[in-house]
Amino acid sequence: MSERLRLMAVHAHPDDESSKGAATMARYVNEGVDVLVVTMTGGERGDILNPAMDRPEILENISQVRREEMDRAREILGIQQEFAGFVDSGLPEGDPLPPLPEGCFATLPVEEAAEPLVASIRRFRPHVVLTYDEQGGYPHPDHIMTHKVSMRAFDTAGDPDAYPDAGDPWQPLKLYYFVSFPAERFDALADVLAERGMENPFAEWVDRIKDRDRPTWEITTRVHCSEYFDVAHEALKAHATQVDPNGFWFAIPNDVVAEAWPTEDYHLVRSLVDTEVPEKDLFDGVREAVRV
């Protein structure tokens, strides 16, 4: 007999879970793993990015609409999901950048903002936690703050002296960063598209971001999950205010994507179990450690 495995993914806004690691989660759910997404904010300050949804009644009720979208995506992926209860910080624009709204997620002390996540970890008891790198995957204030609270929660959830009102201590065994858009993935995709004589809808976008100062993380763990790419796309489309179903993210058939890059990728940050990289399974070392 083995203990049931548990995976937690920590995200900043509703829709992030469907654009980063969604196929991985769908695969593990199908394999009998319990999967929980903790969404740190409600996405209240997110723009409407789908022209078909850009209507006054949607904008006036954006918080409720995004919760309903999250619920549909949760059902599609087969996961559990909960909100940590913080308010979206928005993405400041301008030169100089305006200050963040008072009381929003990214303005809070890390020690305070980590407590709901510690409580979620202690309640759900995940073996593996997924989160963002120091730049948040991209430099949105809420993504960066999600990184900070994830690191603190991982380090303190097992400490009985930390957050004594947040439940019984539980120490996750592994922590990973998402490596969602590695340059190699787009190079491989460009090669397959060229071989097939197909247009590359990402070419302009890749050229635009290639000079940005982004950390390059070693891919330590490649999870083969291409058979769940369609599920991930359906979950992302459930966030109808945030994605245009006719946009370039969906322009390439998933069988072409799978030929070029059939995995979702991660960087192992911390492990309290013995494992060897490269890995093909987020639970390498965990499966042996939790057997009873």
CB-based burial, 174-201: b 16+ in 10 Å, e otherwise: bbbbbbbbbeebbeebeebbeeeeeebe
Given a contact cutoff of 8 angstroms between Cβ atoms, the answer to whether 5 and 286 are in contact is yes
CB-based burial, 97-118: b 16+ in 10 Å, e otherwise: eeebbeebbbebeeeebbbbbb
284 is in an annotated binding site: no
16 is in an annotated binding site: yes
Q: Where are the beta strands (DSSP E) in the chain?
A: 6-11, 34-41, 80-86, 128-131, 174-179, 221-224, 263-271
> Which of 81, 77, 78, 102 has its CA nearest to residue 90?
102
* Phi/psi of residue 103, nearest 5 degrees: 85, 0
Gap between the Cα atoms of 86 and 102, Å rounded: 12
143 is in an annotated binding site: yes
Question: Between the CA of residue 156 and those of 8, 79, 193, what are the distances in Å?
Answer: 16, 25, 46
Which segments are annotated as binding site? 13, 16, 143
Which segments are annotated as binding site for Zn(2+)? 13, 16, 143
